[in-house]
Amino acid sequence: MKYFGTNGIRGIPNEDLTTELSMTVGKAVSTYFNSKTIAVAKDTRISGDMIMNAVISGVMSTGTDVKYLGILPTPGLQYYCKKHNLPGIMITASHNPPEYNGIKCIASDGTEISEESEKEIEDLIDSKKFKKVSWKSSGRLYPESNAIDEYINGIMSLVDVDKIRDRKFKVVIDTGNGAAYFTSPYLLSKYNCHIVSLNANPDGTFSSRNSEPKPENLGDLISLMRSGNFDIGIAHDGDADRCVFIDEHGNFIDGDKSLALIVKYTVKNGDTVVTPVSSSDALSDICAEKNAKLIKTRVGAPIVARTMIENMAVIGGEENGGIIYGKHQYCRDGAMTLSLMLNLLASEKKTLSQLLNDIPDYTIVKSSVERRRGWEEIRKDLIERIDKKIDETDGLKILEDEGWVLIRPSGTEKIIRIYAESKSRDKAAELSNKYKSLLNELI
């Protein structure tokens, strides 16, 4: 893809993501959708107003009206699009650092658009064959104030609210100054939780912590969980389509384990679960135990979501805290994920650490190297140097004797990602270091 990556178009505003490109993207997206109205929202990044206004200008120049939903998690916009049968555009760079921003396109069913649709939009960007109207027919901008309540009520309709409220959970939530700064604390208050919030103010520089909810970025949340008497800690990324958890002892829970846990208590005999090849084998073990079918795809939430739709899967997700609950909508949703976890804790009447004791224990070590050569060249060199069985569903997944290693180019950054898994933490680290060294040598 020339403009689109794994999750939309991303770049640094005024460098590669210019206002000129953003306006052109707005014209192309609106021409492609050919809808009377498009819904638009953004996260809290400083450049959000600039990029959004450029996109909106492009949209309105084609005669399309804009429903502006304000600052909203990406899944909040997606829910609005699904409920009102409208396409949408989200201005966000998700977990990327604050200097980045991006443009995501949402179909009228609430899913991120397909790769085929992205290619058609890219062709329009290059050909500049945009719809154009007279001044009297240009689009108008209409603020929308009900999107948050619609989104929150939709989530609450799918869990046992009374059971959650009865538990009066003590929760620490870190929204990372991102798009969920209001929505997630608001949702937790509706669940009758005792809430301590961290970084629940919109700050486009993410001055409190890096946007990606990794252990090294959640020191304050982890420290608070260890020092207080809390039931669970929750953290989001910049646009809140992901959610990670800290247990009652202050231990960070890897996304693959929270996914496996929620799947364990959600799926039934014969259900289908979808996940990328980057996910832990713990999920494979859980699905075998529950007699559920597991389908593995290329990495990318839109790919997982569309595979779920095609196979009528009840749940799916990624190892990064992105869970997709089919009964709600076919996209990653951090607020839905935290609701499913609270519902599970309330129903089982156990602590998070107790529930995790029943999840198969695997360790994934993640690392990366800078991509300074073309991926295809690197890929060919790797294949020549590896004498193990390789799965090429996405990148190269090397099946080792005591685990596996996935090597693939990032769709959002100029890096090559390395995922190494084993039942032994030391072995996972050894595999990670082995292939990181090999990559550095080849690059």
The number of beta carbons lying within 10 Å of the beta carbon of residue 217 is 19
Q: Which two tokens stand for residue 367?
A: 């690392």
β-pairing, 170-174 with 194-198?
parallel
Q: Which two tokens stand for residue 322?
A: 């992105």
User: Which of these is catalytic: 22, 35, 94, 211?
Assistant: 94
Residue type, 2: K
Q: Is 22 one of the annotated active-site residues of the chain?
A: no
Cα–Cα distance measured from residue 397 to residue 325, given in angstroms and rounded to the nearest whole number: 27
Helices (H) and strands (E) in the chain, counts: 15, 20
For residue 294, the cross-strand partners are 273
Contact 89, 26 (CB under 8 A): yes
Q: Which two tokens stand for residue 29?
A: 């997206």
- Write b or e for each residue in 146-162: b if 16 or more Cβ atoms lie within 10 A of its Cβ, otherwise e: ebbeebbebbbeebebe
Q: For residue 310, give the nearest of 272, 337, 340, 278 by alpha carbon.
A: 272
Residue type, 243: C
Q: DSSP state, 13?
A: B
**Catalytic residue numbers?**
94
